[in-house]
Amino acid sequence: MQNISIDELHDRMDGLTEKDLILDVRSIAEFNEGHIEGAQNTGHEEVGSIVENLKIYDTVYVHCKMGGRAKMASQTLINSGLENVVCVGDGGMQRWTEMGWAVAK
């Protein structure tokens, strides 16, 4: 499994295209409180149900609040046969907001 930090994801933001997806695996309530612009929300326990939808992307960046749920969700997706998954850990959305980076609501 490829792992990057939330800082690395932030650094890549300007280079992302419509073929890349940021998958926020936090709860709907957490997502609605603030999320990365353009992110899609599917709870970490439900990601197995969207595997087919994720096959169209070059890269799926999976993140959560701090990294634990992202790791579980990424493993589920990889075990389901996806090879385009990047697990974003090392701070997650908590660090994103602490750094003052843009948040959509």
In this structure, what token pair is assigned to residue 17?
A: 């295209």
Instruction: Band the pLDDT of 1: cuts 50, 70, 90.
Output: confident
Measured in degrees and rounded to the nearest 5, phi and psi for residue 3 equal -125, 140
Whether 89 shows a pLDDT value over 90: the answer reads no
What average pLDDT does this structure show over 37-51?
97
Rounded to a whole number, what is the distance in angstroms from the first to the last CA of the chain? 30
Helix (H) or strand (E) holding 61: strand 59-63
Average pLDDT, the chain: 97
Q: Is the pTM of this model over 0.85?
A: yes
C-alpha–C-alpha distance, residues 60 and 45, integer Å: 16
pLDDT class for 45, splitting at 50, 70, 90?
Answer: very high
Q: What per-residue confidence (pLDDT) applies to 69?
A: 98
H or E stretch covering 7: helix 6-12
Class of domain 2-98: alpha beta
